[in-house]
């Protein structure tokens, strides 16, 4: 029995079944390559679900975390520390607006904070929130209430608040749904779990105008799309639209758990002492990691690399002629391979056998969200391998398992 198989058996016996049993037991990584317990290597095109911004074992991240943990690992929110204050200041500078920041540990927590913030701001006269169909905002009960993906919601209803879901990209549906009784609109500027769906041109501006006209708070969930994933610091900057509240996580810590709920302008002052909290939120080690991520993205022009290598990846994939390939969509280093049949799980499995880690995010969509350091040669190696992977996926009999 190989080491990977043994670890998978131990996993199955010791952990709850919510993840199933992952097929790969990873023991180490360097750059964009990870190694499993049997010594096999893979090009990591998942990037920890858009988390591993700098790839694996990046020297800047290792140095920052090691130095910080040697000084101070945790102090709680009963005290303050300079890395947290400086990180909040940096994020506000990147957003380009005044405001205040609340730090937590995960995207769901950031969206929970945003949900509480808009409920407190709304008062009794605004009773509901609007979000998008097929959206994903997290798995805690509040964040799941916002989430519009039926497969994530079905086992946990009823929920604790009224959320009305409208078609993503439809200005008409949004305009009808957002009235003077609407507290907020929660949107992903690019939908991630739905299959990397960018907004129609002008959509985010229309959303901003609708919120301004009705007084609803505009919340952009950039848990996946933020911190350079799309070639800009934040995806909403492609349309130069500013939200009232912004949530971040995933790529911010480069692998360390940290998230942020940013209230801009007057929305930064909604929370008062005692309204919300997080024991581990904004801890010194995660803040040090976030500084290393921001420093490296800026110093190594990883925004430029996300744009350049993302375009190379998208162009190369789109040029492939295969009956299973319906097309490619996405932005920056965040691409979705659309299939003509629900064979995404098969493509994922054959890619893994060939040494590539990708993600079957929908039955007919394979997602690619590699580290922002991905090189052009690495991207090209996947492009050249994909036709054979698609052909292999066609030979698999039986129904696909829904991701």
User: Is residue 315 in a domain?
Assistant: yes
Structure tokens at 227: 């911190």
Residue 206 is part of which domain span?
60-299
Structure letter (DSSP) for residue 254 = B
With beta carbons less than 8 A apart as the criterion, state whether 340 and 390 touch.
Answer: no
Strand partners, 149: none
168 and 245 co-located in one domain: yes
Give the residue carrying structure tokens 């996993």. 11
219 and 278 co-located in one domain: yes
Q: What is the CATH number of the domain that holds 17?
A: 3.90.1150.10
Q: What is the CATH number of the domain that holds 99?
A: 3.40.640.10
With beta carbons less than 8 A apart as the criterion, state whether 25 and 35 touch.
Answer: no
Of 401, 224, 255, 233, nearest to 330 by C-alpha is 224
65 and 118 co-located in one domain: yes
pTM surpassing 0.75? yes
pLDDT at position 398, please? Answer: 45
71 and 51 co-located in one domain: no
Assign 87 to helix, strand or coil.
helix
- DSSP H or E segment with residue 326: strand 325-330
Of 311, 353, 333, 196, nearest to 319 by C-alpha is 311
User: Is residue 401 in a domain?
Assistant: no
Domain boundary among 271, 299, 327: 299
Cα 351 from chain centre: 22
Q: What is the largest CA-CA distance in the chain?
A: 64
Assign 324 to helix, strand or coil.
coil
Assign 72 to helix, strand or coil.
coil
Q: How far apart are CA 189 and CA 330, in angstroms?
A: 12
With beta carbons less than 8 A apart as the criterion, state whether 166 and 174 touch.
Answer: yes
278 and 364 co-located in one domain: no
With beta carbons less than 8 A apart as the criterion, state whether 101 and 262 touch.
Answer: yes
Residues in the chain: 403
Assign 353 to helix, strand or coil.
helix
72 and 210 co-located in one domain: yes
User: Is residue 361 in a domain?
Assistant: yes
Radius of gyration of the chain (CA): 21
Query: Phi and psi at residue 326, in whole multiples of 5°?
Result: -90, -25
User: Is residue 341 in a domain?
Assistant: yes
64 and 74 co-located in one domain: yes
Structure tokens at 344: 């995404």
**Residue-level pLDDT, tens digit, the chain, 403 residues:** 479 999 999 999 999 999 999 999 999 999 999 999 999 999 999 999 999 999 999 999 999 999 999 999 999 999 999 999 999 999 999 999 999 999 999 999 999 999 999 999 998 889 999 999 999 998 887 888 888 888 788 777 777 789 999 999 999 999 999 999 999 999 999 999 999 999 999 999 999 999 999 999 999 999 999 999 999 999 999 999 999 999 999 999 999 999 999 999 999 999 999 999 999 999 999 999 999 999 999 999 999 999 999 999 999 999 999 999 999 999 999 999 999 999 999 999 999 999 999 999 999 999 999 999 999 999 999 999 999 999 999 986 444 545 5
User: Is residue 403 in a domain?
Assistant: no
Domain boundary among 283, 299, 315: 299
E strand segments, 60-181: 99-104, 128-132, 162-166
Strand partners, 329: 336
Q: How far apart are CA 50 and CA 368, in angstroms?
A: 9
Q: How far apart are CA 39 and CA 84, in angstroms?
A: 38
Domain boundary among 279, 299, 319: 299
Of 221, 228, 227, nearest to 204 by C-alpha is 221
Question: What are the start-end ranges of the H helices in 196-283?
Answer: 203-214
User: Is residue 152 in a domain?
Assistant: yes
Query: Phi and psi at residue 172, in whole multiples of 5°?
Result: -65, -45
258 and 136 co-located in one domain: yes
**How many domains does the chain contain in total?**
2
279 and 348 co-located in one domain: no
Of 275, 343, 259, 347, nearest to 51 by C-alpha is 259
255 and 314 co-located in one domain: no
Structure tokens at 328: 């490619």
User: Is residue 72 in a domain?
Assistant: yes
Our CA angle for 76, 269, 208, nearest 5°, is 120
- DSSP H or E segment with residue 6: helix 3-14
32 and 180 co-located in one domain: no
Assign 187 to helix, strand or coil.
strand
Residue 154: asked if its preceding bond is cis (omega within 30°), the reply is no
214 and 157 co-located in one domain: yes
User: Is residue 247 in a domain?
Assistant: yes
Give the residue carrying structure tokens 């691409």. 335
């Amino acid at each position: 029995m190989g080491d990977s198989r043994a670890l998978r058996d131990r996993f199955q016996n010791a952990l709850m079944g919510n993840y199933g049993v992952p097929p790969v037991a990873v023991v180490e990584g360097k750059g964009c390559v990870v190694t499993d317990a049997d010594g096999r290597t893979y090009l990591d095109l998942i990037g920890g679900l858009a988390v591993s911004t700098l790839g694996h074992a990046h020297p800047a991240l290792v140095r920052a975390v090691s130095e910080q943990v040697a000084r101070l690992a945790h102090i709680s929110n009963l005290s303050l520390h300079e890395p947290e204050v400086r990180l909040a200041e940096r994020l506000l500078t990147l957003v380009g607006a005044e405001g205040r920041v609340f730090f937590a540990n995960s995207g769901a927590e950031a969206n929970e904070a945003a949900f509480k913030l808009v409920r407190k701001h709304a008062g009794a006269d605004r009773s509901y929130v609007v979000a998008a169909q097929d959206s994903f905002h997290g798995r805690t009960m509040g964040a799941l209430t916002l989430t519009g993906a039926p497969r994530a919601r079905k086992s946990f209803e009823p929920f604790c608040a009224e959320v009305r879901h409208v078609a993503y990209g439809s200005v008409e549906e949004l305009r009808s749904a957002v009235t003077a009784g609407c507290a907020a609109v929660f949107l992903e500027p690019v939908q991630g779990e739905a299959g990397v769906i960018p907004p129609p041109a002008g959509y985010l501006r229309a959303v901003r105008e609708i919120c301004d006209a009705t007084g609803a708070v505009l919340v952009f969930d950039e848990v996946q799309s933020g911190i350079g994933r799309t070639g800009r610091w934040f995806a909403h900057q492609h349309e130069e639209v500013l939200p009232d509240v912004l949530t971040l996580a995933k790529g911010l810590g480069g692998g360390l758990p940290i998230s942020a709920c940013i209230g801009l302008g007057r929305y930064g002052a909604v929370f008062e002492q005692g309204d919300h909290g997080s024991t581990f939120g904004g801890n010194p080690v995660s803040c040090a990691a976030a500084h290393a991520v921001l420093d490296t993205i800026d110093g190594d022009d990883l925004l430029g690399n996300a744009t350049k290598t993302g375009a190379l990846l998208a162009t190369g994939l789109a040029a492939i002629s295969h009956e299973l390939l319906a097309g490619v969509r996405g932005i920056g280093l965040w691409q979705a391979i659309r299939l003509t049949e629900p064979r995404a799980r098969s493509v994922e499995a054959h890619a893994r056998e060939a040494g590539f880690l990708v993600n079957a995010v929908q039955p007919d969509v394979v997602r690619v969200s590699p580290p922002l350091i991905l090189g052009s040669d690495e991207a090209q190696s996947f492009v050249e391998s994909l036709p054979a992977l698609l052909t292999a996926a066609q030979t698999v009999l039986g129904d696909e398992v829904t991701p």
